[in-house]
């Protein structure tokens, strides 16, 4: 089936570009709340599931064993901008497990955040793996390995105990089989498993409510959601969508960007999980759609509504600050007014 | 009509993202060579027509009056990376017209090229309008204004003599009416007029051959094509697609990226003009498609073919240099093997 147009980008009076996509909203019992587009097609959740990948670290008690703070737990769920506080926090997590940057296997890239990027260049410095947007998740993996008494070396590989724990946690919470045939290697070198959007949405419905999670899963999910809501800077960074939305709404919306136009969210008060994919992988469209869905489902006061509308329909300005167009979410996403 | 899938991005064994688009290839008499997707929909050519926008500067004799070099003419057609040689060349162009950076109206942004961006930051410097990717085009506009005895102030506005000359040149070469109702403001603040892909392709067929261009149009087009072929670094920059392709093929292919997934080309030996648009505005897909079309239409030797294939089907690597996927152009673009 053809995915519908869900986001358009205007210039002057015309539509310049259009984004198609699919979205699934599911409740914690797995019932469909909303389904648009080809939701059966498997998508790679990649960074959108970092909070779910952090479950074994918290649920096992290893986060407590190492005395990880809420900032550190939030960073374990992050695609951060590589700002100094992000890098320092990842370093501190590693130190708690008796490790350092040398054991990170995520690879090195310059800070994702433009200002952080140039600030680092201005010092004459070079980036380390601590600046990789996934360094917090990886520091969490290293803590998990050390806490389990495993050698962290090779922790990115599918058959290392760390990735086995992570895959089992993902299968448990989403209910979807995670198989090698439907896997790929992520930007930071860990395996990523393609699953359908409704399974992903179901996982986030359960992450948001704890419903049906065995053992200490419910408490672990609540702890992670609280940590991120308290420190939304840690999960993204200055000016970023996830940071802005969670700074605004706190624990009412857990949202997390993934690569290639994937976005996931938990809306705990409704018991809903949300998963969406922009067909072409575009991030601006995924953000606008997520903001549009938050507007649709959550009751917001006037100020909150205005702030989320600005994220759902951002005005586009050029290098002279002149308004040249807008990003707009379709009425299919907005639902009834 | 639905635009077909023309480019896919894989991860592991799966397709992660897909791009739809449209393409028109037309000869210098306006006959259709290839038409895929919804080619009637108007697109904003934006930066893809910089070479056509440079026609009045050269055709009027003003480029010669100021003694503009081939490097400078190539820069007038550029979306450059803001490397030191780009900024210095724009400055030199302005000086020839007795002007300086203060009269540029394109706005300021940090260099588009990552290395240039960080190198500037490392010096403790800040960008000027000379680093704007459009500074060469704008320096050309300033030369045109001064050469015509006009005050350059306001040269970005639709009713300034510079933009009138530019609009007339675009209408002349493409044969398409450029109206205010179908216009928008570009990133650098000049007007951009939406026209259908076949008109754009026709303009580039004529730009590549000079066919039917009145007055000194044919000589001006040839001069611009030669300048860019001699100095492909000036039109883009280190590691950029246009620079690599034209460094490889010289005057056999004039290619120019536009914003939001638009790409144009002239293939003079065939008399063809090419114009394409990725529906969602994605640049990686537009580049792969353009390389795929060059492979389809030009006879290349083994080495050239290998180099262009690498642009049409780039391998995607992650931060550790591990191959994680590929960008692939559909068989509809490749045509018969």
Contact assignment for B17 to A110 by CB distance below 8 Å: no
Q: Write down the pTM of the prediction.
A: 0.97
pLDDT band at B337 (very low <50, low <70, confident <90, very high): low
Distances (CA, A) of B248 to A137, A231, B244, B270: 43, 51, 6, 18
pLDDT score recorded for residue A109: 97
Contact assignment for B122 to A117 by CB distance below 8 Å: no
Q: For B261, which of A2, A17, A43 is closest by C-beta distance?
A: A17
Q: Is the minimum CB–CB distance between A59 and chain B shorter than 8 Å?
A: no
pLDDT score recorded for residue A336: 64
Q: Is the minimum CB–CB distance between B315 and chain A shorter than 8 Å?
A: no
Q: For A18, which of B13, B186, B280 is closest by C-beta distance?
A: B280
pLDDT score recorded for residue B171: 98
pLDDT at A77 over 90: yes
Contact assignment for B122 to A121 by CB distance below 8 Å: yes
Q: Please name the residues in contact with B38: beta carbons below 8 A apart, sequence gap of 6 or more.
A: B1, B2, B3, B22
- Rounded distance between C-alpha atoms, residue A151 and residue A39, angstroms: 39
Contact assignment for B282 to A280 by CB distance below 8 Å: yes
Best mutation target, A283, A317, A318, A327, to test chain B (most B CBs within 10 A): A318
pLDDT score recorded for residue B336: 64
Distance from CA of B300 to the nearest CA of A (A): 31
pLDDT score recorded for residue B1: 82
Select from B156, B161, B129 the least CA-distant residue to B146.
B161
Mean pLDDT of A241-266: 98
Mean pLDDT of B284-302: 98
- Tell me if B22 sits within 8 A of B293, measured CB to CB: no
Mean pLDDT of B59-73: 98
**Contacting residues of B for A118, CB less than 8 Å apart:** 110, 117-118, 121
- Tell me if B262 sits within 8 A of B277, measured CB to CB: yes
DSSP code at position A252: G
Select from B111, B100, B103, B101 the least CA-distant residue to B78.
B111
pLDDT band at B334 (very low <50, low <70, confident <90, very high): confident
Domains delineated in chain B: 5-334 (3.40.710)
Instruction: Provide the CA B122 distance to its chain's centre, in angstroms.
Output: 30
Distance from CA of B320 to the nearest CA of A (A): 5
Q: For B17, which of A118, A185, A279 is closest by C-beta distance?
A: A279
Task: Kindly provide the residue ranges of all beta strands, DSSP E only, lying in A12-162, ordered along the sequence.
Answer: 14-27, 32-36, 42-43
Mean pLDDT of B221-242: 98
What 3-state class would DSSP assign to A237? coil
pLDDT at A84 over 70: yes
pLDDT band at B81 (very low <50, low <70, confident <90, very high): very high
User: How open is the CA angle A33-A38-A192, to the nearest 5 degrees?
Assistant: 95
Taking residue B104's Cβ as centre, other Cβ atoms within 10 Å add up to 26
The CA R_g of chain A, rounded to the nearest whole Å, is 19
pLDDT score recorded for residue B335: 82
Cross-strand partners of B297: none
The CA R_g of chain B, rounded to the nearest whole Å, is 19
pLDDT at B328 over 90: yes
Task: Kindly provide the residue ranges of all beta strands, DSSP E only, lying in B127-223, ordered along the sequence.
Answer: 183-185, 191-193, 195-196
Q: Please name the residues in contact with B315: beta carbons below 8 A apart, sequence gap of 6 or more.
A: B323, B325, B326
Give B84-141 pLDDT, tens digit per residue. Answer: 999 999 999 999 999 999 999 999 999 999 999 999 999 998 999 999 999 999 999 9
Cross-strand partners of A196: A42
**Contacting residues of A for B319, CB less than 8 Å apart:** 106-109, 132, 187-189
Mean pLDDT of A37-48: 98
Mean pLDDT of A127-147: 98
pLDDT at A143 over 80: yes
pLDDT at A157 over 70: yes
Contact assignment for B17 to A281 by CB distance below 8 Å: yes
**Four-point Cα dihedral B132, B138, B143, B145, nearest 10:** -140
pLDDT band at A334 (very low <50, low <70, confident <90, very high): confident
pLDDT at A75 over 90: yes
Q: Please name the residues in contact with A297: beta carbons below 8 A apart, sequence gap of 6 or more.
A: A25, A267, A270, A272
pLDDT: which is higher, B336 or B84: B84
Q: Is the minimum CB–CB distance between B262 and chain A shorter than 8 Å?
A: no
Q: Is the minimum CB–CB distance between B64 and chain A shorter than 8 Å?
A: no
Mean pLDDT of B141-158: 98
Select from B293, B333, B288 the least CA-distant residue to B311.
B288
Alpha-carbon torsion (A232, A235, A236, A238), positive or negative: positive
Q: Buried b vs exposed e over B171-183: b needs ≥16 C-beta within 10 Å?
A: bbbbebebeeebb
Report residue B336 as tokens.
Answer: 């018969």
Q: Which residue of A has its CA nearest to B43?
A: A16
Mean pLDDT of A282-298: 98
pLDDT score recorded for residue A129: 98
- Percent over 70 (pLDDT), chain A: 99
- Percent over 90 (pLDDT), chain A: 98
Q: Is the minimum CB–CB distance between B280 and chain A shorter than 8 Å?
A: yes
Number of Cβ pairs < 8 A linking chain A and chain B? 154
pLDDT: which is higher, A285 or B1: A285
Phi and psi dihedrals of B232, rounded to 5? -65, -20
pLDDT at A125 over 70: yes
pLDDT score recorded for residue A337: 52
């Amino acid at each position: 089936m053809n995915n519908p147009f869900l986001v358009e980008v205007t210039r002057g009076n015309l539509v310049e570009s259009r984004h198609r996509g699919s979205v699934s909203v599911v409740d914690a019992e797995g019932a469909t709340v909303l389904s648009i587009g080809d939701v059966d097609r498997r998508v790679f959740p990649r960074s959108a599931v970092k909070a779910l990948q952090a479950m074994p670290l918290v649920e096992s008690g290893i986060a407590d064993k190492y005395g990880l703070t809420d900032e550190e737990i939030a960073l374990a769920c992050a695609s951060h901008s590589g700002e100094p506080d992000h890098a320092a926090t990842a370093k501190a997590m590693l130190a708690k497990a008796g490790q350092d940057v040398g054991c990170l296997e995520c690879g090195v890239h310059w800070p994702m955040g433009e200002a952080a990027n140039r600030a680092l260049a201005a010092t004459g410095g070079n980036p380390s793996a601590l600046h990789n947007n996934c360094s917090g998740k990886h520091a969490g993996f290293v803590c998990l390995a050390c806490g389990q008494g495993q050698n962290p070396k090779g922790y990115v590989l599918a058959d290392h105990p760390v990735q086995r724990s992570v895959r089992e946690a993902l299968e448990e919470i989403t209910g979807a089989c995670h198989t090698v045939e439907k896997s790929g290697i992520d930007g930071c070198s860990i395996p990523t498993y393609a699953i359908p959007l409704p399974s992903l949405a179901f996982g986030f419905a359960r992450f948001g409510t704890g419903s049906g999670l065995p053992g200490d899963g419910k408490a672990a999910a609540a702890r992670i959601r609280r940590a991120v809501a308290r420190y939304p800077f840690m999960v993204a960074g200055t000016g970023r969508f996830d940071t802005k939305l969670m700074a605004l709404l706190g624990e009412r919306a857990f949202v997390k960007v993934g690569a290639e136009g994937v976005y996931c969210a938990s809306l705990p008060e409704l018991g809903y999980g949300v998963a969406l994919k922009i067909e072409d992988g575009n991030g601006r469209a995924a953000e606008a759609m997520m903001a549009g869905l938050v507007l649709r489902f959550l009751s917001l006061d006037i100020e909150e509504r205005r702030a989320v509308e600005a994220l759902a329909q951002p005005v586009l300005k050029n290098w002279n600050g002149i308004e040249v167009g807008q990003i707009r979410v379709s009425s299919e996403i907005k639902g009834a007014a």
